[in-house]
Amino acid sequence: MAFLEAVFLKRQPGDDLPLRQGASLLQLLKPVLISVLFPLLVLAGWELGVRSGVIGGRLMPPPSRVLTALSSLAASGELSMHIGVTLRRVLVGFVTGAAAGTVLGAVTGSSPLASRLLDPTLQALRAIPSIAWVPLFILWFGIFETSKVALIAVGVFFPVYLGVHGAITGVDRRIVEVGRVFRLSRLGLVRRILLPSILPSYVLALRAGLGLGWMFVVAAEFMGASEGLGYLLVDGQQLGKPDQIIAAILVFALVGKVTDTVLLLCSAPFLAWQDTHQGKR
Amino acid sequence: MLDILRLSKIYPNGTRALEAFTLSISKGEVVAIIGGSGCGKSTLLRLLAGLEEASEGTVKLRGRRLHKPDPLVNVVFQEPRLFPWLSVADNVGFGLSHLAADKRKTAVAQVLKRLGLSGFEGRWTKELSGGQAQRVALARAIVTMPSVLLLDEPFSALDAMTREDLQSHLVDLWRDFGSTMVLVTHDIEEAIFMADRVVVMRPFPGRILAEVPIDLPRPRDRMSEGFTMMRRHLSERLVQSLGEQRTAEPA
């Protein structure tokens, strides 16, 4: 409960403002209710549109048919299997890409020499459309898991690298000088001052990276996958099942949102120190 | 103790911030540096802190050359420069990471108590007032027991009451810890209240215009006749410095 309060209500341990009894649950759920209101309205409008004949239902099946497709996929156990496979690919690719982006961003952000040496090359690589790597990755890593994870990792790497590099080079000189007064080594400076001070930007970069990870998993699963949510899209297209395609798209949106929320929830306790206007209630 | 010999600083754009600055400071002495803007006061402090390299000249601490940040020297800046992601206790204990956790905790608690901040250990810096934040910055520097404490206009951003309160706190701490202090300030009253000697600087390039010993008894009374006379004397010197600044200021 305290964790939920910290996340949703920006309350901190020791805050002595009591929550009104009875209002607490509603207060906790209010942000969630507000955030699902718009998608629910869109779904209702869509259903009504198809039922009234304003929208053609053959290629744009109503939510009720999509729900039926989802239910049958779930009942057969296929849905959880496809979600599990895609989720695993995204997570492995995300962790790999984010780790590489963090390390290289920290190195180039904190060392002018490393920045001059590596940053121009990395920026040039960033300009390459990541899909262009697909043929090469298939040649290098084969058609199976490694090439898919590598593609996702490339997608995640650049926003994380750019976020960390940019945030570190923008850290307030005056704060860094305090580290120099305390004679921190370069590694100490990165660990004790640079990385903590960029934490809010870092979380943002991770979220952007995760979002791209979800985009790239689709491309990765288009290249010869036999399982995963991307496979459901290809399968739906080939077999003319728009309800399955839309169901897979909705699952992508849902699972992507869930992973983003998990990332936000996990980072929230580390960002309690932020003095933002949204923190003032 | 701290010997500054013919110290000069010329910036890459050609600005001569400091020229042949020579000063000897004894152990436990408090020296205040005053002067108009651009007279090289802050440059001098940054050179003493090892945050900048001198173009010429040397700084020696107990006969040892200082050219980079030193464990015996600490700095309190004009702004608190606290780390917002750390609690008050972790900010104060930042320079004590070599100590065991219990010893660090004890040292931090002692210095916070000394500065009237007991009970603030777990607070975020965003929850502090300006005066409290500057006290935490002072605690962070003092807790390392530096031989030389450099203060760069540490109270200039505070209101008059908080400023006087912190000046008294700092004098008390100095009496207990016996650190040598170099205080850069715009405030003549602050210089007289705290220092054993006031160095008045003239600008373009920064040089010593006058050295004025403050031989008033401690604790000093700001309303006393001696204090008032000293304030008038230093004001005249400062006006002279500012006059030189106007004539010497590059176009």
B192 vs B202: CA distance, rounded Å? 19
- What's the gap in Å between the CA of A166 and the closest CA on chain B? 19
- Mean pLDDT, rounded, for A242-247: 94
As a dihedral over the C-alpha atoms of residue A207, residue A210, residue A214, residue A215, rounded to 10 degrees, the angle is 70
Which chain B residue has its CA at the smallest distance from A188's CA? Answer: B97
3-class DSSP state of B213? strand
Q: Is A144 on the interface with B (CB under 8 A)?
A: no
Helices (H) and strands (E) in chain A, counts: 13, 0
Q: Give B4-61 pLDDT, tens digit per residue.
A: 999 999 999 988 899 999 999 999 999 999 988 878 898 999 999 999 999 999 999 9
Answer whether A187 touches B (CB < 8 Å): no
Q: DSSP of A204-246, one letter per residue?
A: HHHHHHHHHHHHHHHHHHHTT-SSSHHHHHHHHHHTT-HHHHH
* Closest Cα in chain B to A171: B83
Residue of A nearest to B128 (CA): A275
Cβ-defined contact of B86 to A273 (cutoff 8 Å):
yes
Q: What pLDDT is stored for residue A260 in this prediction?
A: 96
Residues in chain B with CB shorter than 8 Å from the CB of A274 are 84, 126
User: Is A196's CB within 8 Å of B81's CB?
Assistant: no
d(CA B151, CA A63): 68
pTM equals: 0.79
The CATH class for the domain spanning B2-248 reads alpha beta
Question: Which residues on adjacent β-strands are paired with residue B207?
Answer: B202
How far apart (Å, rounded) are the C-alpha atoms in residues A152 and A129?
13
- pLDDT per residue over B215-234, tens digit each? 999 889 999 999 999 999 99
A275 touches chain B (CB under 8 A): yes
- Other Cβ atoms within 10 Å of B247 Cβ, number: 7
Predicted pLDDT at A73? 93
* Mean pLDDT, residues B93-112 taken together: 94
The class of domain A2-6+62-274 in CATH terms is mainly alpha
Residue A219 has pLDDT above 80, yes or no: yes
Q: Which of B77, B124, B125 is the closest to A174 by Cβ?
A: B77
A/B interface, count of CB pairs below 8 Å: 51
Shortest distance, CA A269 to any CA of chain B (angstroms): 11
Q: Is any Cβ of chain B less than 8 angstroms from the Cβ of A199?
A: yes
Distance CA A17, CA A4 (A): 16
Residue A45, C-beta contacts closer than 8 angstroms, at least 6 positions apart: none
Residue A186 in contact with partner chain B when CB distance is under 8 A: no
ipTM score here?
Answer: 0.90
- Let me know if B12 is exposed, middle or buried by CB neighbors in 10 A (0-12, 13-18, 19+): exposed
- Taking 90 as the threshold, does the pLDDT of residue B204 lie above it? no
Is A175–B83 a contact, with Cβ atoms under 8 angstroms apart?
Answer: yes
What is the pLDDT at residue B247?
A: 66
* Spatial strand order in the sheet of B56-61: B16-25, B2-10, B56-61, B64-65
What distance in Å separates residue B157's CA from the closest CA in chain A? Answer: 16
Cα gap B143→B93, rounded to integer Å? 8
CB contact under 8 A, A274 and B84: yes
Average pLDDT over residues B96-118: 93
Given this model, what pLDDT does residue A13 score?
47
Cα gap B66→B84, rounded to integer Å: 30
